[in-house]
Amino acid sequence: MTDRLTLRRHIRHCRNQLSTQQQNDAAQAVIDHVRRADHLSSARAVALYLANDGELDPHPLIEWYWSRGSRVYLPVLHPFSPGHLLFLHYTPDTPLQANRFGIPEPRLDSRLILPKSELELIFTPLVAFDAQGNRMGMGGGFYDRTLAGWRNGPGPQPVGLAHNCQQVDSIPVDSWDVPLPELITPGRHWRW
Ligand SMILES: Nc1ncnc2c1ncn2[C@@H]1O[C@H](COP(=O)(O)OP(=O)(O)OP(=O)(O)O)[C@@H](O)[C@H]1O
Ligand SMILES: [Mg+2]
């Protein structure tokens, strides 16, 4: 099972089969890993995402960061730079609207945009990962573009979030794919 489409279909099915209870337990387990890692728990400006398609639900983690006084940002599709993301400040009062993929995002308001370089962490969703830190997303290249060159700049460090069942033996990678330095599943905090 090496081609990307087959792999995506298989793993998306597995994460969509998880029960509400399993999703809730997974979200709490991830908070426990973050709590134990100083460089994650101390971050004051973090990008997270809203769960879609059975993804690990980061909302409890978002609320945990809020409770510590950290600022949380969500990705918004760039209105005129195709394939790119903006990061907008997210609070419990932020109005959301569905984007063209049906995923809720903050309504675009330029006053809420934080330049990417001012984020400390970007928690990324993903479809599949392997034990080498290779990452495969939903196929849009949004996070690959966002994270391109992150090791060479002052910008944020990525942290993948996934369910245990999203681990595969080997991810087929292309030149533009950005491997992760770190990833959290309910069962393990991976660091490469
Ligand atoms: N840094 C980049 N610059 C230009 N195009 C890119 C870049 N990264 C990825 N792409 C393009 O995006 C498309 C989708 O890439 P890919 O299949 O790796 O997405 P993905 O990793 O599944 O998605 P995502 O990054 O949103 O999680 C590819 O056709 C690729 O050419
Ligand atoms: Mg990719």
Task: Write a three-state SS string for 12-77.
Answer: HHHHHCCCHHHHHHHHHHHHHHHHHCHHHHCCCEEECCCCCCCCCCCHHHHHHHHHCCCEEEEEEE
Res 85: pLDDT = 98
Q: Is 176 in the pocket of ligand 1 (CB under 6 A)?
A: yes
Encode pLDDT of 65-84 as tens digits.
999 999 999 999 999 999 99
Q: Cα 141–98–68 angle (5° rounding)?
A: 80
Residue whose CA lies nearest to ligand 1 atom number 14? 141
Q: For residue 127, give the CATH number of its domain.
A: 3.40.50.10420
Q: Work out how many domains the chain is built from and give that number.
A: 1
Q: Which one of the ligands is nearest to 137 CA?
A: 1
Q: Give the CA distances from residue 45 to residues 6, 36, 84, 90, 182, in Å, rounded to whole numbers and listed in that order.
A: 36, 18, 20, 11, 18
In terms of Cα–Cα distance, which of 14, 86, 102 is closest to 55?
14
- State how far the Cα of 56 lies from the Cα of 146, in Å rounded to an integer: 20
- State how far the Cα of 192 lies from the Cα of 187, in Å rounded to an integer: 16
Write out the residue range of the structural domain in which residue 36 sits: 4-191
Encode pLDDT of 30-55 as tens digits.
999 999 999 999 999 999 999 999 99
Distance 172 CA to ligand 2 centre (A): 10
Q: Is 143 in the pocket of ligand 1 (CB under 6 A)?
A: yes
Q: Give the CA distances from residue 57 to residues 124, 163, 176, in Å, rounded to whole numbers and listed in that order.
A: 11, 10, 26
Distance 20 CA to ligand 1 centre (A): 31
Distance 69 CA to ligand 2 centre (A): 32
Distance 141 CA to ligand 1 centre (A): 3
Q: Which one of the ligands is nearest to 125 CA?
A: 1
Res 108: pLDDT = 97
Residue whose CA lies nearest to ligand 1 atom number 12? 141
Low-confidence ranges of the chain (pLDDT < 70): 1-2
